[in-house]
């Protein structure tokens, strides 16, 4: 992940404006074919691992 440099009044932008700029940058770089079968398989695998992680995390806090 990239770190933000010079936030707030130091660069003349408020926090909301800086967040909007970051959002626009992400949208411009977004180049994934959401209709591709490989994308769906990858999403299912990621979701499965995340659910296992959540279950393990919440189960050990009891």
pLDDT in tens, the chain (62 residues): 445 555 445 555 566 666 666 666 655 677 889 999 999 999 999 999 999 999 998 886 65
The whole-number pLDDT of residue 47 equals 97
Count of H helices and E strands in the chain? 2, 0
The domain locations on the chain are 1-31, 32-62
Instruction: Name the CA radius of gyration of the chain, rounded.
Output: 18
- The DSSP output letter for 57 is H
pLDDT of residue 59: 83
How far is it, in rounded angstroms, from Cα 25 to Cα 30? 9
CB within 8 Å of 13: residues ≥ 6 apart: 7, 21
């Amino acid at each position: 992940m990239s770190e933000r440099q010079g936030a707030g009044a130091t660069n003349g932008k408020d926090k909301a404006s800086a967040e909007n700029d970051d959002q626009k940058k992400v949208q411009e770089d977004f180049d994934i074919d959401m209709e591709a079968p490989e994308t769906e398989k990858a999403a299912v695998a990621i979701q499965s691992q995340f659910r296992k992680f959540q279950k393990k995390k919440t189960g050990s806090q009891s």
